[in-house]
């Protein structure tokens, strides 16, 4: 990306684009977001961008983060967290521009100035679900990633499947369960699950990082799995188990009128042992719980089909910026879409950057491209 392209949408008075990196948040994926931000803050080119790290505490408070966040990591004993502070950050309109303001009790508020683009590295509800995106749209602020509708659809596993089916994309058998349905007639839900056939996967409809997900092999374990999922969301999706390999594909918005770009597909294989599926610990805590292969060992025609379907899923939800699309590749060669993630894990070790690295686009270059796309798209209806 040239300096001229970078400076095209830079606010007056800024020598280089000012990027606010937003992370943390109120969801159960707070720590994952912090680690994602650590990766980006460690790789972003500070010679090209004026970077402002803003954390959102679990209370919802926005704070200006100081110190070296690049050492944050996930472990069984320690999870990173944004700490509340007396110095809060707000987005306010001053002189016709939306600027970041740092305020402390008994002190004059400090203006950080206008922001050219926000990089919202937030996972889960209150961040990846269209809420932050709506706030930024209201403030006429450019940002990386999907807009309000695509973010909301991508967060809700039920409506995501509805949209995919309407677009002619194949999804696996499932049922959606609302809070009212479970509380008023749980036996009807048990019968519907029985018709799906065991094993099933019980999932919170609006959570990520495999939070609250259980594999259930019989009726005896169903109620406990539903209770565990309801700790994260009162709306659930229960999916029939599918025998197949777990294949993923990274999607990057095309420039201008170009179609979405897709990476070489990757594959996740859970190591035999205590993990029956790719759960939170297998994803983030235990290094040897799963192997990530990129590119995936697939026939050429299957690779082409994965990439075609990933782009179709991206377009179906109206995504922008980036997404990761997950599939099941069955023994008879069928490709079934599991889900789309509009803000996938973004550490250097995460599957999304790894798939792009295997396709010739490095981590720092990927960050550059996402900022470029955000700076060059219009705000408002599009």
SS3 155: helix
Instruction: Report pLDDT digits (tens) over 147-198.
Output: 999 999 999 999 999 999 999 999 999 999 999 999 999 999 999 999 999 9
Distance of CA 224 to the CA centre of its chain: 27
Q: Which helix (H) or strand (E) holds 35?
A: helix 30-43
Q: Is 215 annotated as a binding residue?
A: yes
* CB-count exposure of residue 86 (10 Å: 0-12, 13-18, 19+): exposed
Q: Is 306 annotated as a binding residue?
A: no
Identify the structural domains of the chain with CATH numbers, from first to last. Answer: 3-145 (3.40.50.20), 154-170+243-342 (3.30.470.20), 174-240 (3.30.1490.20)
Q: Is 355 annotated as a binding residue?
A: no
* CB-count exposure of residue 282 (10 Å: 0-12, 13-18, 19+): buried
Residue 46 pLDDT? 95
Q: Is 26 annotated as a binding residue?
A: no
Residue 329 pLDDT? 98
Q: Is 216 annotated as a binding residue?
A: yes
Q: Is 247 annotated as a binding residue?
A: yes
50 close to 16: Cβ distance less than 8 angstroms: yes
Q: Is 360 annotated as a binding residue?
A: no
Residue 141: name the closest of 237, 228, 54, 31 by CA. 54
How many other β-carbons are positioned within 10 Å of the β-carbon of residue 302? Answer: 17
Q: Is 225 annotated as a binding residue?
A: yes
SS3 342: coil
Q: Is 179 annotated as a binding residue?
A: no
Q: Is 117 annotated as a binding residue?
A: no
Q: Is 231 annotated as a binding residue?
A: yes
Q: Is 195 annotated as a binding residue?
A: yes
Q: Is 197 annotated as a binding residue?
A: yes
Q: Is 253 annotated as a binding residue?
A: no
Q: Is 204 annotated as a binding residue?
A: yes
Q: Is 64 annotated as a binding residue?
A: no
Residue 68 pLDDT? 67
Q: Is 223 annotated as a binding residue?
A: yes
What's the number of CA atoms in the CB half-sphere (13 Å) around residue 75?
5
Residue 73 pLDDT? 63
Q: Is 242 annotated as a binding residue?
A: yes
* CB-count exposure of residue 89 (10 Å: 0-12, 13-18, 19+): buried
pLDDT at residue 286 tops 70: no
Residue 83 pLDDT? 85
Q: Is 241 annotated as a binding residue?
A: yes
Query: For the residues of 285-323, what is the DSSP string, one character each?
Result: I-TTSEEEESS----HHHHHHHHHHHHHHHHHTT--SEE
Residue 113 pLDDT? 86
Q: Is 11 annotated as a binding residue?
A: no
Q: Is 238 annotated as a binding residue?
A: yes
Q: Is 250 annotated as a binding residue?
A: no
Q: Is 217 annotated as a binding residue?
A: yes
pLDDT mean across residues, the chain: 89
pLDDT at residue 251 tops 70: yes
Residue 366: name the closest of 376, 357, 378 by CA. 357
Task: Return the structure tokens found at 172.
Answer: 């696996």
Residue 378 pLDDT? 85
pLDDT at residue 261 tops 90: yes
Residue 32: name the closest of 84, 79, 82, 83 by CA. 79
Task: Return the structure tokens found at 223.
Answer: 């109620």
Q: Is 232 annotated as a binding residue?
A: yes
- CB-based contacts of 254: which residues, under 8 Å, 6+ apart? 260, 261
Q: Is 202 annotated as a binding residue?
A: yes
Q: Is 226 annotated as a binding residue?
A: yes
Q: Residue range 52-60: average pLDDT?
A: 94
Q: Is 246 annotated as a binding residue?
A: yes
211 close to 204: Cβ distance less than 8 angstroms: yes
Q: Is 161 annotated as a binding residue?
A: no
Order of all β-strands in the sheet with 236-240: 174-177, 236-240, 200-204, 214-216
Task: Return the structure tokens found at 338.
Answer: 């599991």
How many Å from the N-terminal Cα to the C-terminal Cα in the chain?
Answer: 24
Q: Is 370 annotated as a binding residue?
A: no
CA distance 209 to 122: 12
Q: Is 248 annotated as a binding residue?
A: yes
Cα torsion 142, 148, 154, 155: sign:
positive
Q: Residue range 125-140: average pLDDT?
A: 93
Residue 12 pLDDT? 55
Instruction: Report pLDDT digits (tens) over 216-226.
Output: 999 999 999 99
Residue 209 pLDDT? 66
């Amino acid at each position: 990306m040239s300096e001229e392209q970078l400076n095209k949408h830079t606010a007056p008075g800024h020598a280089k684009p000012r990027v606010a990196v937003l992370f943390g948040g109120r969801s159960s994926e707070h720590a994952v977001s912090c680690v994602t931000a650590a990766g980006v803050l460690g790789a972003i080119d500070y010679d090209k961008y004026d970077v402002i790290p803003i954390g959102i505490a679990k209370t919802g408070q926005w704070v200006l983060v100081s110190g070296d966040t690049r050492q944050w990591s996930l472990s069984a004993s320690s999870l990173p967290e944004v700490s509340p502070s007396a110095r809060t950050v707000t987005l306010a309109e001053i002189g016709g521009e939306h600027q970041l303001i740092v305020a402390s009790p008994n002190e004059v508020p400090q203006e950080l100035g206008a922001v050219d683009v926000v990089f919202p590295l937030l996972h889960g509800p209150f961040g990846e679900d269209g809420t932050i995106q709506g706030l930024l749209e209201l403030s006429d602020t450019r940002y990386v990633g999907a807009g309000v509708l695509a973010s909301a659809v991508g967060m809700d596993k039920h409506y995501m499947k509805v949209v995919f089916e309407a677009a002619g994309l194949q999804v696996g058998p499932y049922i959606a369960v609302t809070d009212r349905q479970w509380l008023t007639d749980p036996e009807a839900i048990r019968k519907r699950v029985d018709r799906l056939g065991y094993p099933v996967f019980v999932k919170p409809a609006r959570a990520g990082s495999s939070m609250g997900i259980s594999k259930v092999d019989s009726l005896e374990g169903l109620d406990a799995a539903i209770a565990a999922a309801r700790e994260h969301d009162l709306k659930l999706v229960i999916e029939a188990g599918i025998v197949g390999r777990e294949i993923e594909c990274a999607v990057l918005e095309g420039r201008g009128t170009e179609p979405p770009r897709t990476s070489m597909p990757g594959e996740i294989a859970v190591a035999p042992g205590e993990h029956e599926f790719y759960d939170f610990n297998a994803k983030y805590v235990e290094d040897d719980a799963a192997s990530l292969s990129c590119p995936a060992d697939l026939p050429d025609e299957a690779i082409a089909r994965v990439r075609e379907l990933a782009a179709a899923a991206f377009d179906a939800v109206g995504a922008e910026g980036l997404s990761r699309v997950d599939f099941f590749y069955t023994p008879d060669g069928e490709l079934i879409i599991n889900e789309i993630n509009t803000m996938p894990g973004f550490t250097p070790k995460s599957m999304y950057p790894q798939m792009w690295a295997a396709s010739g686009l490095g981590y720092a270059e990927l960050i550059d491209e996402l900022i470029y796309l955000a700076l060059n798209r219009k705000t408002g209806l599009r």
